[in-house]
């Protein structure tokens, strides 16, 4: 949908449980010549600003792919580039289906260092929602990464700059630090979230999930997203929370994960892949005047 030539560039605003994105479609039109990573980072910060820009948690570029239906590239609201985003994956899947970039209800998406397969469900309890194969999780410190020796950081007591926490670290294509608490509502997210995100224990920073276990198949999660801060939902965070809960024996291998913006259903299958099911909503389309100015 985005037209790089000329002064005006189209976009689509979408969200997954309130985790919202500005999508630019460059599958049929070339990316603006000035749009390198540095300028996209600058544009993302400006576009995501909720008072003077469009307003969003991130910018998503939908691009041609040699190995999938589409390729997505994600810039957080602080300008950093994300490797993976579950909610963005669902939004891209719905957009690709509706724009004729994929045939049928199955959509393959190339992401940074990952290949995601999504299916738009047509019947049953989750009709209209998107089920995404998020791939296998990893507890290996070097995959996350975390500054730790040993095979994994699972339920370990660690002294971080924000205080002492019992943490579980997992990669879902991006880093996550999962902390189980008795009451997520009591967590001072705006103080603890950025302190944990930027702790030296996490060389590439980290997403932070505070998780309350309500039962073997029911989790409540509050998320501080790396590069975006507190968001209404985080797909990879929901997946990391379920995997951490199951690994520690707090949950079964599937659960409804309640986030401030709504509920995702997450399954950790026997083949070690994590599947996430949830909605993706198109909000509106718009036109940005003189897009090259936003890239400067």
- What share of the chain has pLDDT > 90, as a percent? 88
Split into its structural domains, the chain has a count of 2
Residue 65's CATH number: 3.10.310.10
CA atoms within 13 Å, Cβ hemisphere of 52:
5
DSSP letter for each residue of 120-178: E--SSTTTT-EEEE----B--TTTTT-S--SS--SSEEEEETTEEEEEEEEESSSEEEE
Quick one: 67 and 109 in the same domain?
A: yes
Quick one: 123 and 166 in the same domain?
A: no
Quick one: 241 and 176 in the same domain?
A: yes
- Given a contact cutoff of 8 angstroms between Cβ atoms, the answer to whether 220 and 147 are in contact is no
Write down the catalytic residue from 91, 177, 234, 239.
Answer: 234
- Residue 139 counted as domain residue: no
Quick one: 92 and 112 in the same domain?
A: yes
Report the chain's mean pLDDT, rounded to a whole number: 95
Assess whether 177 carries a catalytic annotation. Answer: no
- Residue 45 counted as domain residue: yes
Average pLDDT score over residue span 209-222? 97
What are the C-alpha distances in Å from 94 to residues 12, 98, 129, 172?
12, 6, 9, 21
Average pLDDT score over residue span 52-64? 96
- Residue 166 counted as domain residue: yes
Write down the catalytic residue from 85, 91, 169, 177.
Answer: 85
Q: What is the pLDDT of residues 3-20, one digit of tens each?
A: 544 568 999 999 999 999
- Residue 149 counted as domain residue: no
Residue 149 has pLDDT above 80, yes or no: yes
Quick one: 12 and 128 in the same domain?
A: yes
Q: What 3-state class would DSSP assign to 15?
A: strand
The reported pLDDT for the residue numbered 3 is 53
Quick one: 91 and 168 in the same domain?
A: no
Residue-number span of the structural domain to which 240 is assigned: 156-272
Quick one: 213 and 289 in the same domain?
A: no
- Residue 261 counted as domain residue: yes
- Given a contact cutoff of 8 angstroms between Cβ atoms, the answer to whether 186 and 224 are in contact is no
Quick one: 197 and 263 in the same domain?
A: yes
pTM: 0.94
Q: What is the pLDDT of residues 276-293, one digit of tens each?
A: 999 999 999 999 988 888
Assess whether 85 carries a catalytic annotation. Answer: yes
């Amino acid at each position: 949908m985005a037209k790089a030539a000329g002064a005006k560039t189209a976009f689509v605003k979408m969200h997954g449980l309130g985790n919202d994105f500005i999508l630019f479609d460059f599958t049929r039109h070339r990316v603006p010549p000035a749009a390198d990573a540095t300028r996209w980072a600058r544009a993302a910060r400006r576009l995501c600003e909720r008072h003077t820009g469009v307003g969003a948690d991130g910018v998503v570029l939908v691009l041609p792919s040699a190995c999938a239906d589409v390729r997505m590239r994600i810039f957080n609201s602080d300008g950093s580039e994300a490797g993976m985003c579950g909610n963005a994956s669902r939004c891209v899947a719905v957009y690709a289906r509706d724009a004729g970039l994929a045939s049928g209800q199955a959509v393959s998406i190339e992401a940074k260092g990952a290949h995601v397969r999504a299916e738009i469900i047509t019947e049953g309890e989750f009709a209209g929602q998107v089920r995404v194969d998020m791939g296998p999780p990893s507890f290996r410190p070097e995959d996350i990464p975390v500054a730790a020796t040993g095979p994994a950081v699972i339920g370990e007591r660690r002294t971080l700059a924000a205080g002492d926490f019992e943490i579980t670290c997992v990669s879902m294509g991006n880093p996550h630090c999962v902390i189980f608490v008795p009451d997520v509502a009591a967590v001072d997210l705006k103080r603890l979230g950025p302190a944990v995100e930027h702790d030296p224990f996490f060389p590439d920073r980290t997403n932070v999930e505070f998780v309350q276990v309500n039962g073997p198949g029911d989790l409540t999660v509050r998320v501080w997203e790396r590069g975006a801060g507190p968001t209404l939902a985080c797909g990879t965070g929901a997946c990391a929370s379920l995997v951490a809960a199951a690994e520690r024996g707090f949950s079964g291998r599937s659960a409804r994960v309640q986030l401030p913006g709504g509920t995702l259903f997450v399954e950790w299958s026997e083949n070690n892949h994590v599947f996430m099911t949830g909605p993706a909503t198109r909000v509106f389309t718009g036109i940005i005047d003189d897009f090259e100015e936003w890239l400067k």
